[in-house]
Amino acid sequence: MKKYKLQNTEVDSIELKALAVSRGMKVDKEVYRRFSETCRLDMNPLTCNCFVLSDGTIVQLTDMGFHLKYLSGILSWSNLKLLKYASQLTTPFSLRLSGDSPALFYEDECVDIVSLPPRTDFYQRKTASGTRFVGNSVLQGLDWVSFQCLWPCEYAASGKPCEFCFSGGDFETLARKQKPLPAALPAPDVAEIVQYAAERAGVSGVQITGGSTFDGQAEAEHIRAYLAALAGDDALRGKLKELLLYITPPSDRGLIDGYFELSASRIACSLELWDLELAKTVTPGKVAYTTRERHLDVLTYIAEKYGKAKAFSNFIIGIEPFESLREGATYLAERGVLPSASVWMPMGRPVRGNMTPPGVDYYRRVKELFAELYVKHDLSPPETRGLNVCIERDIMRYALGE
Ligand code: SF4
């Protein structure tokens, strides 16, 4: 794995990715001017830009200048309150030109010449029913399409959003203002977006994601409709290697069996944090309504019935102490559940009044731990080029010595 110099500190690609994702960066206007016509690089934060390190590692590109303007443009009190944390959101990273190429800088030193994915007109498109792709879906890295939140989060609307979740904060604000929650995205729209992403952007992985719900049957109706719409198109199914579901763990396990019958590749019931006392504050709805027990029950059910790494649980990397993260990731891995790792982006929302991410040592320990668990328990994340913010595929490459 390639090494880089950040002044006097040597880091590898995973550590560099975690630092850059968690701190965001400034993007020189010249980079937009030179590359936004030919590459997937847009000033709209909803497009979730990324860049590719010279060894192929995918990295989320959050332009802090636009991100702060975006926050201030959203006229809700809860979002405006975030601006008081703006001083914590300084970053040493920037994307600038080095000769004719985009390059990642740390302070004023060039760290790596990077590349940007090729441009498509994905973000300019609408579905046949008039739904805009942008704001509902994002291309991630070179082979993923993801949906921000296909159905609303009822836990957030009930006043218990996860502290780090931007969508959850929006649902809570809508509910507090007694405004209706948006309807779930219709299945034909989802199929159309995925079809376009597969044909024009080379996508082979799909993340089906929605909010947490009180009624497992109602959530299941959405999920079944999405899976049926995707499975009904043979040519499309042939192009998709990974179809990931992120669900509220249902009390009826039969629903899980139905999802696998409809071609789901893997199912996540994400705990986000292992430290239960911390989780009560940071993920209050998940702890109070779904409960830790049901999460673990459904995850182990999937692993026992469908095999290793068919169940996975995301952890937000950087919020809890390393020791409790290690305990949780080990507990799951020993039971055949893949612990996945998504780098905390504090610029989304403060957690317990804090927007300061951990240092490189924390990320290094996480990398070593997860690599050991993946090898020891034979747990393999999806074999794609990687996601913008998640690092499990990058860690697997490290574990395999690639
Ligand atoms: S349950 Fe999911 S969608 Fe709802 S606030 Fe938490 S992370 Fe966001």
| pLDDT tens, residue by residue, 165-207 | 988 988 999 999 999 999 999 999 999 999 999 999 999 999 9
The CA 152 to ligand 1 mean position distance, Å, reads 9
Query: Residue with the nearest Cα to atom 1 of ligand 1?
Result: 212
Per the model's pLDDT, the better-predicted residue between 106 and 77 turns out to be 106
Ligand 1 centroid, distance to 87 Cα (angstroms): 26
Atom of ligand 1 nearest to the CA of 286: 1
Residue among 146, 150, 154, 155 whose CB has most ligand 1 atoms within 8 A, to mutate: 155
Ligand 1 binding pocket (C-beta < 6 A) is 149, 153, 155-156, 161-162, 165, 167-168, 211-212, 285-286
Among 154, 271, 286, name the best residue to mutate to test ligand 1's pocket (greatest count of ligand atoms within 8 A of Cβ). Answer: 286
- Looking at residue 73, its pLDDT comes to 56
Q: Which atom of ligand 1 is nearest to the CA of 161?
A: 5
Pocket test for ligand 1, best of 146, 170, 212 (most atoms within 8 A of CB): 212
Residue 172 Cα to ligand 1 midpoint, Å, equals: 10
pLDDT higher than threshold 80 for residue 19: yes
The ligand 1 atom nearest the CA atom of 172: 5
Share of the chain above pLDDT 90, in %: 86
Ligand 1 atom closest to the Cα of residue 165 is 8
Which residue minimizes the CA distance to atom 2 of ligand 1?
211
Ranges of each domain in the chain? 1-116, 126-402
List the residue whose alpha carbon is closest to atom 6 of ligand 1.
Answer: 162
Q: With 50 as the cut, is the pLDDT of residue 75 above it? A: no
Atom of ligand 1 nearest to the CA of 168: 5
Kindly state which CATH superfamily the domain 126-402 is placed in.
Answer: Aldolase class I (3.20.20.70)
State in Å: Cα 157 to ligand 1 middle: 10
- What is the model's pLDDT at position 85? 61
Mean pLDDT over each residue of the chain, to the nearest integer: 93
Tell me which of 146, 150, 153 to substitute to probe ligand 1's pocket, judged by most ligand atoms within 8 Å of the beta carbon. Answer: 153
Q: What pLDDT score was predicted for residue 361?
A: 98
Give the bridge partners for 343, in sequence order.
Answer: 317
Question: Which atom, in ligand 1's list, is nearest to the CA of 149?
Answer: 3
- What are the tokens at 324? 């409790």
- Report which ligand 1 atom has the smallest distance to the Cα of 155: 4
Q: What would the mean pLDDT of 336-356 be, rounded to a whole number?
A: 90
Mind listing the pLDDT tens digit for each residue in 26-38?
999 999 999 999 9
For the cut 60, the answer to whether the pLDDT of residue 269 exceeds it is yes
